[in-house]
A and B are shown apart, each in its own frame.
Chain A
Amino acid sequence: MATLFRDVDALLRGRFTRPDQLAAGRVDVPVPRLLVVALLLGGGYGVCMGLFGALRGGADGWMQIVACVTKVPLLFLLTLVVTFPSLYVSSALHDAPIEPAATLRLLLIAIAVDLALLASLGPVVAFFTVSTTSYPFMVLLNVVVFALAGLAGLAVIRRALESLFGDGAPAESAEPAAVRRRLATRSSSRFVFKAWLVIVAVVGAQLGWVLRPFIGSPGLPFSWFRARESNFFEACANAVGQLLR
């Protein structure tokens, strides 16, 4: 437990994303330990999220907790799996100054930060779960919590990108054409990463919809997945509509 807390502390403090290491294109991080941390944090939030289904669902409502504990970390890891190939291809095409393995480790750090923020808001979600019977409210609360945690993850990546692309001005002795080329490469690499962040946000949101139910609608029996229909954004608009009805 103490080791887990130390790892989370080091993660949040940015010990795994030191600017000097990033400037050299290195991301030194104990991947297996970070994976365990991510799974535990995601599972922790999953318990808080699935509690609504457990309390308001039928006899097998407790299965919603099991499903959420499994699906929350899975959602993040699947988002990474789905979006990483496109990032790798685009960044390699633009000659980004970071190796694929280091990029993957950096993204894993961002996901773990994301999950740490989610877990820190878990008690608040659990409290509202206990005190609320409104399903649309819980949907919107979880969307807001995921968005806030997502912003934190993006901030970590943005900070890392500043270290990667911001420092190391070309040497004065370099040819002007070479300097221009290098600056253009940095600029396009930065654009690739930023575009990729938008893709991650959209894919993550839609994957969350595909992997639903997370909260568990009180009127419906427990199921691991729901039928293919609609999309995340339409569902959010519906939840707002139900709340206002």
Chain B
Amino acid sequence: MSVARVAWRGAVDELLRGRGRFAARVATPWTTVALLIAVAGFAHGAALGSFAGRPIACLFSGIKVPLLLLFSTLMCAPLSYALHALLGLRDDFGEAARATVAAQATFAVVLAATSPLLLVAYASTASYRAAVAWSGVCYLAALLAAQRSLRRRYRVLEQRAPRHRLTRLAFTLLYAFVAIEAAWMLRPFVGAPMLEPTFLRPGAFSNAYVVVVQLVVDLLTR
């Protein structure tokens, strides 16, 4: 048990520092990465759901956070592969894929690390809007950390071939585009105390961008 704990702690440390098993040119321990994303994502999701005060909301959000990360990454993989091949960077694709997956794991781990802070914030407010805002702060912190991790791992690649900057940018933009819509579909993440917990909201199959455009238009034409 203690050996497993040391191995886990070691994995998180190596991931955050980009060393050991998570160094740029080392074969990625895929099982460890998948487990890290699943466990850390679940932990943060459970914290998000806890605002509702019902265990089922924690379970739903716990499942949805890692699902969101994995789904968004998978959606972007074909274009990432095609771009690498097209720009003559096919031989670096494995390294680039490891960098993006490690960034996802970093995102999940940072989210998990902010969960205790989130729980304190939830315990300090009864406002659903404030709870959503606090979770937004956690996501922003995780996003910055993931970008930093991605840039650090891409530095070697970009020194070798500056065209990697384009693949990184394309991946980041497409990932954001897909993840925003996926997150909209998978909402609610923060459990609303006044509503019955559900895995997906009624009207989940709608478009986040269309909603935002309509909100902006309504604001401007009011």
Contacts and interface: CB of A to CB of B under 8 A. Distances in A.
B204 to A, nearest CB: 8
A20 to B, nearest CB: 15
B50 to A, nearest CB: 27
Interface residues of B, number: 26
A139 interface: no
Interface in B164-189: 174, 177-178, 181-182, 184-185
Contact of B181 (A13, A113, A121, A128): A128
B206 interface: yes
Interface stretch (A130-138, A169-177, A199-207, A219-227): A130-138
Interface residues of A: mostly helix, strand, loop or mixed? Answer: helix
A120 B181 contact: no
Contact of A131 (B81, B82, B207, B213): B207
Nearest to A145: B79
Interface residues of B: mostly helix, strand, loop or mixed? Answer: helix
A113 B205 contact: no
Given A12-B85, A132-B206, A120 B79 contact: yes
B207 A9 contact: no
B3 interface: no
A54 interface: no
A62 to B, nearest CB: 19
How extensive is the interface on chain A, given as a class?
A: 20 to 34
B207 A116 contact: no
A243 B209 CA distance: 10
Contacts of A113: 86
Given A120-B81, A131-B204, A152-B86, 5 more contacts: A12-B90, A124-B177, A133-B207, A155-B86, A243-B213
Interface of B: 74-76, 78-79, 81-82, 85-86, 88, 90, 174, 177-178, 181-182, 184-185, 204-207, 209-210, 213, 217
